[in-house]
Structure 1
Amino acid sequence: MAKVAKIPVIDISSNNDQEKVAKELVEAAIEHGFIYIKNPGTAIIPQDAIDKAFEISKKLFNAPLSEKQSCSIQKNNRGWSGMQVETLDPSTQRVGDFKEAFNFGPFQNSQASQPLPPTISSDQPSLSTFQDFCYSLCLKITTLLGIGLSVNPPDFFAKAHLRSTGPSGTILRFLYYPPSSSIPDANPSSDVRAGAHSDYGSMTLLFRLKGQVGLEILTTDNQKWVPVPVTPPGTEDDPTPPILLNIGDLLSYWTNGLLRSTVHRVVFSGEDNQITREKTAEQEPRYSIAYFFHPVGTTPLTPVPSERVKNYVPDGQEKGNGNPHAERKVMTADEHLQMRYVIS
């Protein structure tokens, strides 16, 4: 491994030219699929809200096993999943992922719509607030993507994600990766903490703690794994670390593959420490938070009203054949999600 991922850092705050920002976002989504979103102070998501979310996450995963098991994950994709329950890349993994996870569905009036461990019951208002911040940021980004793609109307994507119009597959997920020293059957040189995969929805917001490396993406040019720094070059002095955004399968499908859904994984820290120059205490646990943003489930994934999307010809297809996106069966957001569950 000889480099780190080249992922653009973009400031989407209202102080900047939104037309220019929108075009930068689109180009980054096309070329990389991953984007760092600068988080200056309280302009995007307040750092204290992020800190509080990680504090709650640590409380949750330190809760008694019986509490977590009583909230085990259900068919609606909400709840707790234990160590090695999930296997994201069964074709190459000898064992399941070395992680625990807890998925939160929507909150109503600051109350969860699912059972929660009593340990974090009093934290529901903070969880609800953090989820609202993530939702608002994703709505802004989908609007900017519409502007950057010259979609008519530009809020085409944003309207499809309005939670006031119906339920969706959107999930807030807390993740815990134990230190390798506490996993006797793990082989850090060959096993992974989370197998190779692409995300299912429109986009994902990812929050990580400084020093807790391990995320890698698969490059499209030479098909190599490269580490994704928590603090990319040029942001070391920022008061708030950037938020990592990646495009999901649904939005890639919806734009006929124009926007890239990039394969990624989480490995045990090692060589990437030397490359990113970020220090990880391997004997400490790793935490991350993901917000998976989905359209309302009944949304039909009809052709996007954008000339750029319409005229895009995916690799491997002949020019002049038109956009096959308009020819294939139009499915709903929920149908696309279920399709991904089946084939993953």
Structure 2
Amino acid sequence: MSSATPIPIIDLAGVRAGDPASLARAGREIHDACTTIGFFYIVNHGVPQATIDAAEAAAREFFAFPVETKRRAAVNQRHRGFNALGDATMYQAKRPDYKEFFSIGLELPEDDPDVLAGQALRGPNNWPDFMPALRPALYDYYDAVGACGADLLRAVATGLDVDADFFAPRYTKRMQRTQMVYYPPQPPQSDEDQFGVAPHTDYGCITLLWQDRVGGLQVREIGNDTWIDAPPVPGSFVVNVGDLLARWTNDRFRSTLHRVVNASGRERYSIATFYDPTYIAPVDPRDLGTSEAALKYQPVAAGDYILGRINDSMGYRKKHAM
């Protein structure tokens, strides 16, 4: 499949069908993408278009509410809820990101053992009382993208020459976070250091991004040290390696800088899913074949690493860090 971008497009149809040859081919393609640019698109990913359309419509309806109304579902210490303009500043950025977003995670009741134990970021979602339709639309999307993420990680594992099911027992109670994101048009007179999202790498394992037709996502190409566009490709998700997977692979896989510049003059919407392991899952490069002599990183619990990164970038966490 051709594209107007050097970022590769990988077909998951055969992976989802359980075809061994397709799994091996997708594994090779993902390995090549992740050891070079760190980004790729996936198509035939299994998330129904109707589910995507419903989530997009819900996002547009939610962000159209006045900010005072949206603040009734303001982000809480579990990193669930609404973040207004200025609530997030990427590390080393001079200005807060020019975006609003609403975050959800795995829906867990207050009497869940991990919630009762005080495990960070765990618990029920902070659904808005003013828009009851958001919950079914966004959580259906959350579940569908989670199933896609599980399929995708089988190909990732195959590309790393480990068992295709390597990641499955490390995702039994996943730390998946899904965010609806709204980017207002950036004012024409915006300074060069004002971004929809400032240059950054993602914290976790893999990110699956749906983006509307407006565009604005850019990726830092390492080879010639330039920014290239990651334009919308119909029927696709954009996938990138996060810092946790780069660490897990002992930097064989590349976690690449990316940013959003919404210079279109139009509103932009996206839905980002950070598909991350169970909180206590050990992230140890030796489990993915790194020798003791070559080891760059000591083992870390996935959740502890992600929590530390969230604390560094979210304004509300800096004020009230747990």
TM-score, scaled relative to structure 2: 0.83
Q: CA deviation at 1:92?
A: 4.2
Instruction: Provide closer, same or farther for how the CA distance between residues 130 and 268 of structure 1 changes in structure 2, counting only shifts above 3 A.
Output: closer
Q: CA deviation at 1:259?
A: 1.0
Aligned match of 1:159? 169
Distance in 2 of aligned mates of 1:306 and 1:79 = 35
Equivalent residue letter for 1:293: Y
Distance in 2 of aligned mates of 1:96 and 1:148 = 37
Instruction: Give yes or no for contact 2:9–2:43 (8 Å, CA) kept in 1.
Output: yes
Q: Does residue 209 of structure 2 align to residue 206 of structure 1?
A: yes
Instruction: Provide closer, same or farther for how the CA distance between residues 50 and 223 of structure 1 changes in structure 2, counting only shifts above 3 A.
Output: same
Q: CA deviation at 1:298?
A: 0.6
Instruction: Give yes or no for contact 1:60–1:117 (8 Å, CA) kept in 2.
Output: no
Aligned match of 1:254? 248
Instruction: Give yes or no for contact 2:215–2:231 (8 Å, CA) kept in 1.
Output: yes
Q: Could you tell which deviates more after superposition, 141-150 or 195-204?
A: 141-150
Distance in 1 of aligned mates of 2:186 and 2:288 = 48
Instruction: Give yes or no for contact 1:5–1:217 (8 Å, CA) kept in 2.
Output: no
Larger Rg: 1
Instruction: Provide closer, same or farther for how the CA distance between residues 108 and 301 of structure 1 changes in structure 2, counting only shifts above 3 A.
Output: closer
Q: CA deviation at 1:162?
A: 2.2
| Structure 1 residue ranges without an equivalent (≥5) | 232-239, 270-279, 312-320
1:180 counterpart SS class? coil
Aligned match of 1:120? 131
Aligned match of 2:294? 323
Aligned match of 1:315? none
Distance in 2 of aligned mates of 1:74 and 1:146 = 34
Q: CA deviation at 1:188?
A: 5.7
1:28 to 33, 54, 67: 33
Equivalent residue letter for 1:154: A
TM-score, scaled relative to structure 1: 0.78
Alignment of 1:151-190 (within 5 A): 151=162, 153-163=163-173, 168-181=174-187, 187=190, 189-190=192-193
Equivalent residue letter for 2:103: N
Q: Does residue 268 of structure 2 align to residue 286 of structure 1?
A: yes
Distance in 1 of aligned mates of 2:312 and 2:88 = 14
1:192 counterpart SS class? coil
Q: Does residue 289 of structure 2 align to residue 338 of structure 1?
A: no
Distance in 2 of aligned mates of 1:108 and 1:129 = 15
1:67 counterpart SS class? helix
Distance in 1 of aligned mates of 2:186 and 2:245 = 35
Instruction: Give yes or no for contact 1:202–1:248 (8 Å, CA) kept in 2.
Output: yes
Distance in 2 of aligned mates of 1:97 and 1:343 = 14
| Structure 2 residue ranges without an equivalent (≥5) | 110-122, 314-322
Q: CA deviation at 1:28?
A: 1.1
Aligned match of 1:196? 199
Distance in 2 of aligned mates of 1:129 and 1:44 = 13
Distance in 1 of aligned mates of 2:73 and 2:279 = 24
Q: Does residue 42 of structure 2 align to residue 37 of structure 1?
A: yes
Distance in 1 of aligned mates of 2:172 and 2:12 = 20
Q: Does residue 250 of structure 2 align to residue 241 of structure 1?
A: no
Q: Does residue 290 of structure 2 align to residue 296 of structure 1?
A: no
Q: CA deviation at 1:247?
A: 0.8
Alignment of 1:79-158 (within 5 A): 79-89=81-91, 91-93=92-94, 95-107=95-107, 113-151=124-162, 153-158=163-168
Distance in 2 of aligned mates of 1:337 and 1:149 = 22
Aligned pair count reads 292
Percent sequence identity is 28
Aligned match of 2:51? 49
Distance in 2 of aligned mates of 1:295 and 1:32 = 23
Q: Could you tell which deviates more after superposition, 114-123 or 190-199?
A: 114-123
Equivalent residue letter for 1:156: F
Q: CA deviation at 1:190?
A: 4.6
Q: CA deviation at 1:108?
A: 5.9
Q: CA deviation at 1:107?
A: 3.2
Instruction: Provide closer, same or farther for how the CA distance between residues 56 and 188 of structure 1 changes in structure 2, counting only shifts above 3 A.
Output: farther
Distance in 2 of aligned mates of 1:88 and 1:79 = 19
2:218 to 216, 219, 235: 216
Instruction: Give yes or no for contact 2:98–2:183 (8 Å, CA) kept in 1.
Output: yes
Aligned match of 2:80? 78
Equivalent residue letter for 1:200: Y
Distance in 1 of aligned mates of 2:236 and 2:6 = 15
